[in-house]
Amino acid sequence: MTVFLWKSFHRMPNSRLLWQRTMSLYNHTHGFEEKEIKKKLQQFTGGSINLSKKEDGIGILTLNNPKLMNAFTGTMMIELQEKIAELENWKDGKGLIIHGAENTFCSGSDLNAVRLLSSPQDGMNMCMFMQNTLTRLMRLPLITVALVQGKVLGGGAELTTACDFRLMTPESEIRFVHKQMGLVPGWGGAARLVHILGSSPALRLLSGAVEVQPESALHIGLIEAILSSSDEPLEETCTWLKLHTKGPAEVIQAVKKVILAGRELPLETALKTEMKIFGTVWGGPANLEALTQRTKHK
């Protein structure tokens, strides 16, 4: 299945539907009825997800529900899916910053919705819906950064793990509070956390519902950097991301794809995928330009 998925990924299907199907994890064969869960999620309104795509190839995705510390309502979950689909089709895109409105990232899922979706079946459908969306986010051919501000809890902490990098402001905190809620992560956050940290540190964070402060997050490798202040974090994050997205979109996207292949595929398949992605940039405009200019790397 994974191999099939990656072959399709590499072939860059033109059809958006095929792309979405191959990038997602669950469909009706897994008992996932997307239409049904969307109908339920539509009932829990409030907030929005806003996307602005800048000319320099950096997108800014804003979680916007500040009254509830940017908790995810049902309609925000649906809007997130729509914005990720839009980003999958962004040919000139290179990077993405995810942040929350009014200087706080996200306090998880909206507890009002959680209370009303409390049957195991609804819970599993919501979980499959969010896992599909966050897996597609993780597989975007863009370099993604979560800008962590305020108290980032539950599903908010899970969302940060679907990004390539996390940057924290000095006063912020990440906390997988699921155990305190009688839960475990369900948006894929546990599996991704094990990949990021290894199983013992991940278990420590989950079993202790540990409040992870910036210094400790940096020490265990959960984040890439602590921002210098909380004054202009979005600008600082943009500057940081621009260092990693300098160059043409096709090259930046190819860089992300070879890393994705290495992260998700068995070694032999990853190597073959890398070779094919290499073929898309070898002799390409950026490569020829660098050769013409006799670029030196001093």
Ligand X SMILES: CCCC(=O)SCCNC(=O)CCNC(=O)[C@H](O)C(C)(C)COP(=O)(O)OP(=O)(O)OC[C@H]1O[C@@H](n2cnc3c(N)ncnc32)[C@H](O)[C@@H]1OP(=O)(O)O
SS (H, E, C) 126-165: HHHHHHHHHHHHHCCCCEEEEEECCEEECHHHHHHHCCCE
No. of helices (H) and no. of strands (E), the chain: 14, 9
161 near ligand X (CB under 6 A)? no
173 near ligand X (CB under 6 A)? no
154 near ligand X (CB under 6 A)? yes
155 near ligand X (CB under 6 A)? yes
Q: Minimum CB separation from ligand X for residue 96, in Å?
A: 22
In which order are the strands placed within the sheet that holds 211-212?
151-153, 173-175, 211-212
Answer for which of 22, 107, 135, 144 binds ligand X (CB under 6 A) is 107
101 near ligand X (CB under 6 A)? no
Q: Minimum CB separation from ligand X for residue 110, in Å?
A: 4
| Contacts of ligand X in 59-88 (CB under 6 A) | 68-69, 71
Of residues 90, 88, 40, 96, the one with CA closest to residue 63:
96
176 near ligand X (CB under 6 A)? no
User: CB atoms < 10 A from the CB of 295, how many?
Assistant: 8
Q: Provide the CB-side half-sphere exposure for 123 (13 A, CA).
A: 10
Q: Minimum CB separation from ligand X for residue 205, in Å?
A: 14
Residue 211 or 274 with smaller CB distance to ligand X: 211
Q: Which residues bind ligand X (CB under 6 A)?
A: 68-69, 71, 107-112, 151, 153-155, 177-178, 181, 183, 186-187
